[in-house]
Structure 1
Amino acid sequence: MLSFRRGQVTLQQYKLLLCSLYEIYQALEEELERNCNHSGVAPIYFPAQLARLEAIEKDLEYFYGQDWREKITVPAATKRYSHRLRQIGRENPEVLFVHAYTRYLGDLSGGQILGQKTQKSMGLKSKKGLAFFAFPNVSSPKLFIELYCSQMNTMELTEEERNGVLEEAVRAFELNIQVFDDLQKMISVTENQL
């Protein structure tokens, strides 16, 4: 992530990130859709505004070609994150919003800046390959984030559920950190082989 923030991202780094994001968002969006009527999901379910999977698929096809599904690789931490999303979708859908909040709002709030830095860093002449960073159905990220947070605040949670949410929030951040650590290791191994 430091490479992204510094505007020093390489094509290889970005492609590996997209592969992981695909797996994570596939699990998240499938579980959100499956549980969209659950009281812990319905208030924050905004697929038209937030869904990332289709955008990531476009980016992967742009960089890997039409057979991209056969070419992508993801680190073990990504698989663990995806597994966790599917597990809570089945067992505790009331905490899915923690992961939706962590992923979507993080990507929405920093997406435009990171997209511009990525485009410049990789020397891309157009926005092709950068669909992940675009939220065409969100006219104002700031206002949408406010709406999203107000919707989250409508959820009534028991003391036990609040504790579960806090534990899951910590886990969400840990899982994201592990994904980025594993991606960095994959990049380092690949670069050392060159």
Structure 2
Amino acid sequence: MEGSKTHSSESMPGDLSEALKEATKEVHEQAESTEFMKNFQRGQVSLQEFKMVLTSLYYIYSALEEEIERNKDHPAYIPVYFPAELHRKTALQEDLEYFYGPLWREEISCPESTQKYVNRLHYVGQHEPELLVAHAYTRYLGDLSGGQVLKKIAQKALHLPNTGEGLEFFTFEGVSNATKFKQLYRSRMNSIEMDPATKKRVLEEAKRAFLLNIQVFDELQKLVSQCHENGHPAQHKPELRTRGTSGAHEHGPAPVKEGEKTLMKHTGMLPSTPLVRWILVVSFLVTTVAVGLFAM
């Protein structure tokens, strides 16, 4: 067994970025082995579902970036502090206002599985900030990789404007060349001074970040099964409004516009209830974004 441990230690890449990629291969495969990702890649996503996905991401990135700002001067994070290039909270706020209107904060809520992720981010930032780099790496470099594929799919499936409205989350105005920036980011991360014990903890935290995403999927899949068994959806939030040119619809659902009728054609293979469709999309979007890390 000692020989096995020595071989494992010798085979572990010296660079932190490569070690992270190697350590998370298994959880990546778990996330990839779902049919939800394939559905999204086929363009089977509705406007309502996409709005709910953005909501979940908003809570995650709000927590992540709050803790990044708290620890921006920490030796284990200084080299990879790129707020102008990477931070997503402001972009998500713009997207949510575009879809929900100026009162979007009153329309959204944080699902339980997302809240668990949020809680972990706050714990790490406040008690183990040296692990924060694992969460930043898996999220931001995933956004710059697989997230760009999602942008094209969403824009086409939802008939969103070519000018980028509703897709600010996927738009990195501060990054002119994603490939070169990711190389810079990995290089900066590899420069962080870290003893072997801390490095091991960072690798474990990266796997935890993937597992948090998978747990979101598992919980949502259970909700889907329960809805099918009961014959009706569980109520999470009232039907959310679609932003229209004449203002928000305060007393009932917005009328279906021609563009939304077209969107329905892309969701024919999905369950008809908004909550169930949202559950599916959140699931495979989470897994797809996670997989983006490996497309670098």
TM-score w.r.t. length of structure 2 = 0.61
C-alpha separation in 1, matches of 2:174 and 2:51: 25
1:140-179 → structure 2 map (5 Å cutoff) = 140-179=177-216
Q: Which residue of 2 aligns with 1:137?
A: 174
Which shifted more, 156-165 or 55-64? 156-165
Deviation of the 1:116 alpha carbon: 1.3
Taking a change above 3 Å as real, the CA distance of residues 183 and 58 of structure 1, as seen in their structure-2 partners, is farther
Aligned-CA RMSD value: 1.9
Deviation of the 1:125 alpha carbon: 3.1
Deviation of the 1:110 alpha carbon: 2.1
C-alpha separation in 1, matches of 2:217 and 2:95: 19
Pairing partner for 2:125 from 80, 89, 101: 89
Read off the aligned partner of 2:154 and give its amino acid letter: T
Deviation of the 1:54 alpha carbon: 0.6
Read off the aligned partner of 2:76 and give its amino acid letter: G
Taking a change above 3 Å as real, the CA distance of residues 186 and 107 of structure 1, as seen in their structure-2 partners, is farther
C-alpha separation in 2, matches of 1:103 and 1:56: 14
Read off the aligned partner of 2:152 and give its amino acid letter: Q
Establish whether residue 66 from structure 1 lines up as the match of residue 102 from structure 2. yes
Q: Is the 8 A contact 1:75 1:182 kept in 2?
A: no
Deviation of the 1:68 alpha carbon: 0.7
C-alpha separation in 2, matches of 1:158 and 1:12: 46
Taking a change above 3 Å as real, the CA distance of residues 182 and 124 of structure 1, as seen in their structure-2 partners, is farther
Q: Which residue of 2 aligns with 1:46?
A: 82
Read off the aligned partner of 2:172 and give its amino acid letter: F
1:4-43 → structure 2 map (5 Å cutoff) = 4-43=40-79
List alignment gaps of at least 5 residues for structure 2. Answer: 1-35, 228-232, 235-270, 275-296
Deviation of the 1:74 alpha carbon: 2.6
Which shifted more, 140-149 or 105-114? 105-114
List alignment gaps of at least 5 residues for structure 1. Answer: none
Q: Deviations over 1:81-128 (max 9, x none)?
A: 011000010001011010000110001112332111101001223421
C-alpha separation in 2, matches of 1:193 and 1:9: 13
Q: Which residue of 2 aligns with 1:101?
A: 137
Taking a change above 3 Å as real, the CA distance of residues 56 and 183 of structure 1, as seen in their structure-2 partners, is farther
C-alpha separation in 2, matches of 1:161 and 1:176: 23
Q: Which residue of 1 aligns with 2:112?
A: 76
TM-score w.r.t. length of structure 1 = 0.92
Q: Which residue of 2 aligns with 1:121?
A: 157
For these two proteins, the number of residue pairs brought into alignment is 194
Taking a change above 3 Å as real, the CA distance of residues 134 and 183 of structure 1, as seen in their structure-2 partners, is farther
C-alpha separation in 1, matches of 2:210 and 2:70: 23
